[in-house]
A = this chain, B = another copy of it.
Amino acid sequence: MQFDLDDERAQLKQATRELLEGESPLAESRALMEQSAEGFSKALYAQLAELGYLGLLLPEDAGGAGVGHVGLAAVLEEMGRVAFPGPFLDQILAIETLRRCPGDEARRWLERALGGDVLVVLARAETLSLDEPAQPETRLADARIVGRKRWVPFGAQADALLVTTDQGLALVPRPDSGWNATPLETIDLAQRFAEIPLAAPGSALLGPAATDAALAEVDRTGALAAAALLLGVMERSLELTRDYTVERQAFGAPIASFQALQHRMADMLIQTEGTRAAVYRAAWATDAEDADAARLVAVAKAQAGDASRFVCGETIQLHGGVGYTWEYDPHIYYKRAKTLEQFYGSTRDALEQLLEASGI
């Protein structure tokens, strides 16, 4: 029984931390989020592709890193720590989807996506509230996709969309006229969503049943990945809080010496470390193809959502006045946590999956 990362994954985690702290410290990320058109650094994404980060989940014999979900979680924990902006996770999920699609076209897009040459993302949601009808209203007929997708992550910048339709999954390359995307700007600047009306040529990749099966697996990776990002978000939030409260003086003592604040930070630690245990256990179970994996991923996502709500909120609170300024960083993590809690399977969805997987 071993809980620690093995050497390979520990090194990957350390290397990722150094890479991100060097290339994408939070100040840099904030500048990208606030000022750039894309919201992320294309150059750094190319570097990540080059270094093989997009193939973390692919087996080595398929040209991937073969570090599995444990390795992916370790990388995403680090990305969470710096509130890394951009479509990294969305790319991973598109790649995971393409891997499950037969046929040459899927293979071609997969290779180009893995190489970082194109940005492919999933386009699934159709309502504003994410309360989705059982079947997409987007239609595929005569090799044309007609409908409207919402909450498409970095949809405006995508080279192709993987679109769920009434006939299953289809691929829509960006039309020459562009996407005609409307931004859906939320409070989280690290993530850009778009609403995209579709009336464009596209090709079927999977039938409805195969789509459901493939996306169920991809969704599991998505939920786990979001939980790992949230772990990093919380971890760093707690560090900021600790550092600030140790530094800041009031009534003649560091405010970290006040018991009410100490107990709050203890609770923040409990939530963060509880999430760590749940995330890595779920990642391991997924890689080990444990029968409990689906349950444990649902646990990790639900735990990470509830925990980050508390930890990131209290980070603002314990920073006092500066906690609600734009200048200080607590709000960046708070806002990230809101996206990651609601998307990639909301807490409610995760809890329902947990019950289903438990036969309840």
A258, A260, A262: residue with the most chain B Cβ atoms closer than 10 Å: A260
Query: Measured between alpha carbons, how far is A258 from B258 in the docked complex, in Å?
Result: 9
Oligomer copy total: 2
Residue of B nearest to A258 (CB): B259
Q: For this complex, into which size category does the number of interface residues on chain A fall?
A: under 10
CA distance A262 to B262 in the complex (A): 14
Encode A4-44 as 1/0 by CB contact (under 8 A) with B.
Answer: 00000000000000000000000000000000000000000
Q: CB of A263 within 8 A of chain B?
A: yes
A299 to B258, CA, bound (A): 36
Residues of B near A262 (CB, < 8 A) are 260
Which residues of B lie under 8 Å from residue A259 when comparing CB positions? 258-260
Give bound CA distance, A262 to B260, whole Å.
Answer: 9
- Interchain CA distance A260-B257 in the complex, whole Å: 12
A–B pairs, 6, beta carbons within 8 Å: A258-B259, A259-B259, A259-B260, A260-B260, A260-B262, A260-B263
What is the bound-complex CA distance between A262 and B259, given in angstroms?
10
A318-354 CB contact bits vs B (8 Å, 1 = yes)? 0000000000000000000000000000000000000
Alpha-carbon distance A259/B262, docked complex (angstroms): 10
Q: How far is the CA of A263 from the CA of B264 in the complex (A)?
A: 12
The docked-state distance in angstroms from the alpha carbon of A263 to that of B260 is 7
- How many angstroms between the C-alpha atoms of A258 and B262 in the bound complex? 12
- Which A260-275 residues sit within 8 Å CB-CB of chain B? 260, 262-263
